[in-house]
């Protein structure tokens, strides 16, 4: 159970760069000890929130995000697909509910939705809510009035990532600015939708850049309710394919620092789990990660098989929403 020392007045929005760099530089055990203490003060450390993703519109995106298999600028194995029908989304959401997820996140490979796109996706929010799942969408940039429309339709969360530091951003994306992203996040916040915002680690950025990303998030007037920390999934055909892999301990450190800076947030151990061993994932859960994507695929890339996750959670004594618990005698 959460311990009683968590105080709202302890939540800070004025973190300084040197403080964050000092956290990163702590001996690994000292950093994890501190992060885990924060985690325990604010959350049940044995509970993980579980979301399932669905790509409702895949590929042929006009943006040039250097990590993304869905960008139309790169020759990847992704086959572009039209927007899914309401029925297809309903069926997948019902299956996600049955498999134990608590939130359903619908992603579209758009720079931004047009108002016509919005007409088409609004009905999906209600359909997913009716299954009893929380709703999340990630559709690209939003205007103030589009965010308001999504709120009115009942959307619970909007995911829009900053991806990296303002300084490193230009190495990764040229087709929209950091400020564009901040503007969308402000529109989402103003509309009263919960904010899901994080980034990607392992794109060749420096620790200074990881610090810059976390500072952006932690110095927002309100911290995002959900902070996805993605490990780059290297996709053949994208410019970032083949770059040096990041030391997994640096990834764990990033989770730990995010937990310390944003105690109340759900820090999500997001993309990249398929290439991560179970020991690294366990360290991330100890460091304060309390949310994952669950299901065979992320948007287009592979994610660990549900049964594998069920077994992992059982071995760690982690309660993950309503996931089935493997029975004695099942392979571990
Ligand atoms: N098009 C919308 C947008 O960019 O906001 C929504 C979908 S986009 C695929 C959602 C997020 O997925 C990106 O912001 C990025 O952080 C993450 N992502 C995409 N490709 C990734 C990869 N190869 N590895 C890790 N994260 C990735
Ligand atoms: C987030 O931060 N990670 C998710 C979700 N938000 C939309 C997406 C990860 C995408 C990984 C690559 C793919 O599946 O195409
Ligand atoms: Fe398009 Fe989003 Fe991929 Fe960028 S991350 S190329 S905006 S789908």
pLDDT less than 50: residues of the chain: 1, 4, 332
pLDDT value of residue 100? 85
pLDDT value of residue 332? 45
Report which bound ligand comes closest to the CA of 67.
1
Is the CB of residue 71 below 6 angstroms from any atom belonging to ligand 2? no
Is the CB of residue 231 below 6 angstroms from any atom belonging to ligand 2? no
What are residue 268's DSSP bridge partners? 228, 291
Q: Which residue numbers are catalytic?
A: 61, 65, 68, 105, 136, 196, 268
pLDDT value of residue 216? 98
Phi, psi dihedral angles at 251 (to 5 degrees): -65, -45
pLDDT value of residue 328? 54
Considering only CA atoms, which of 271, 296, 301 is closest in space to residue 284? 271
Which ligand 3 atom lies nearest to the CA of residue 69? 3
Going by alpha carbons, the residue nearest to atom 15 of ligand 2 is: 300
Which ligand 2 atom lies nearest to the CA of residue 235? 12
Which ligand 3 atom lies nearest to the CA of residue 73? 6
pLDDT value of residue 287? 98
d(CA 162, CA 81): 26
Report which bound ligand comes closest to the CA of 175.
3
Report which bound ligand comes closest to the CA of 197.
2
Residue 168 Cα to ligand 2 midpoint, Å, equals: 20
d(CA 106, CA 83): 11
pLDDT value of residue 192? 96
Ligand 1 site residues (CB inside 6 A) read 67-68, 70, 107, 109-110, 138, 140, 160-161, 163, 200, 230, 232-233, 235, 271, 299
Residue 185 Cα to ligand 3 midpoint, Å, equals: 16
Going by alpha carbons, the residue nearest to atom 2 of ligand 3 is: 109
């Amino acid at each position: 159970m959460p311990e009683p020392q968590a105080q709202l007045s302890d939540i800070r929005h004025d973190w300084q760069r040197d403080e964050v760099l000092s956290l990163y530089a702590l001996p690994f055990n000292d950093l994890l000890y501190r992060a885990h203490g924060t985690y325990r003060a604010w959350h049940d450390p044995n509970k993980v929130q579980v979301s399932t993703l669905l790509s409702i519109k895949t590929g042929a995106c006009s943006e040039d995000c250097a990590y993304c298999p869905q960008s139309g600028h790169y020759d990847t194995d992704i086959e572009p697909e039209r927007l899914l029908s309401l029925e297809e989304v309903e069926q997948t959401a019902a299956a996600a509910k049955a498999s134990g997820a608590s939130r359903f996140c619908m992603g579209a490979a758009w720079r931004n939705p047009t108002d016509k796109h919005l007409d088409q996706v609004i009905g999906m929010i209600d359909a997913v809510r009716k299954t009893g799942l929380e709703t999340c969408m990630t559709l690209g940039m939003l205007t103030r009035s589009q965010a308001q429309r999504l709120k009115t339709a009942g959307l619970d969360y909007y995911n829009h990532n900053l991806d990296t530091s303002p300084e490193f951003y230009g190495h990764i994306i040229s087709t929209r600015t950091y400020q564009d992203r901040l503007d969308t996040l402000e529109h989402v916040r103003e509309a009263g939708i919960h904010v899901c915002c994080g980034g990607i680690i392992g794109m060749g950025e420096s620790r200074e850049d990881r610090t810059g990303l976390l500072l952006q998030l932690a110095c927002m007037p309100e911290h995002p309710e959900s902070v996805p920390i993605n490990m780059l999934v290297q996709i053949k055909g994208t410019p970032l394919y083949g770059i040096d892999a990041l030391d997994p301990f640096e990834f764990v450190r990033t989770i730990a620092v995010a937990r310390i800076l944003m105690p109340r947030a759900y820090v999500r151990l997001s993309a990249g789990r398929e290439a991560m061993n179970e020991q690294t994932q366990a360290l991330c859960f100890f460091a304060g990660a309390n949310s994952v994507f669950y299901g065979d695929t992320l948007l287009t890339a592979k994610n660990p098989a549900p049964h594998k996750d069920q077994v992992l959670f059982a071995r760690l004594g982690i309660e993950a929403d309503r996931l089935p618990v493997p029975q004695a005698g099942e392979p571990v």
